[in-house]
Amino acid sequence: MNTLKLLHTADSISTWVGKTFAWLIVALMVMVMGEVFKRYALNAPTAWIFDASNMMYGTAFMMCGAYTLSQDGHVRGDFFYGSAKPRTQASLDFVLYILFFIPGVIALTWAGWTYAADAIAIREMTNSGDAIPLYPFKAIIPLTGIIVLMQGLAEIIRCVVCLKTGEWPARLKDANEIDVVEQQLSASVYVDEDAKRDAIERAKHIDEAAHQRGGHAMGENK
């Protein structure tokens, strides 16, 4: 139970960070719409808008990485992995995390820290006509590395638990997707009867919940 609480704490932190920085997409959309209006309606383009939009999107992309990892949402080659038993999946994940993920993220964090420190020391600015500060964006790089490293360690613990018990520990789910359940039923070669029944029940529950939300929304519109 303590291990599961620890995993869910890491999931909660990653989820909170991801959802918070996801609002940058809304801010980015508003900024771009305003720039389009200024450029074509007022003939008053902004010189720094391209740099600002790149920094905002890059920040959202980096800071949502740990959240995606906590939801097991990163793209993977699923031809063998998806049909493997949980212990086999955990073994593969454990080896790949230790050999590639952890060293890579540590290198990113270390290099990003040096990169950001240099930028902060000289108060680095962009090269656009109206320069804007660049060093806050570079400071996001080591921060991203720390958060992703935290979530990566949580995933390694998940692998160890699965290797011991033969089952993946429950994730702190943020959203349910019925198509994922259907893919698990149709694409997996190895699905025992208990897992199959559980997936069917979850699919029914998600479908019913979706219908209830749809009916409630229609009632409010009326």
Give the whole-angstrom CA distance, residue 54 versus residue 71: 26
Give the whole-angstrom CA distance, residue 208 versus residue 33: 38
Q: Which residues, in sequence order, are CB contacts of 155 under 8 Å at separation 6+?
A: 69, 93, 97
CA distances to 12, 24, 74, 77, 148 from 151, rounded to whole Å, are 10, 22, 13, 21, 5
Q: Are 90 and 163 in contact (CB under 8 A)?
A: yes
Give the whole-angstrom CA distance, residue 160 versus residue 90: 7
Where helices occur in the chain by DSSP H, the ranges are 2-40, 49-63, 65-70, 78-81, 86-96, 102-121, 135-165, 178-187, 193-221
Which position has the token pair 């980096």? 62
CA distances to 3, 94, 217, 218 from 147, rounded to whole Å, are 19, 19, 37, 41
**What was the pLDDT predicted at 186?**
52
**What was the pLDDT predicted at 119?**
94
**What was the pLDDT predicted at 63?**
95
* pLDDT digits 0-9 by tens, 36-72: 999 999 998 888 899 999 999 999 999 999 999 998 8
Taking only the tens of pLDDT, the chain with its 222 residues reads 588 889 999 999 999 999 999 999 999 999 999 999 999 999 988 888 999 999 999 999 999 999 999 988 888 777 788 788 999 999 999 999 999 999 999 999 999 999 999 999 999 998 877 889 999 999 999 999 999 999 999 999 999 999 999 999 988 876 555 445 555 555 444 455 666 667 667 666 665 554 554 444 444 444
Q: What is the pTM of this model?
A: 0.73
**What was the pLDDT predicted at 209?**
54
**What was the pLDDT predicted at 212?**
53
**What was the pLDDT predicted at 171?**
85
**What was the pLDDT predicted at 199?**
64
Give the whole-angstrom CA distance, residue 144 versus residue 139: 9
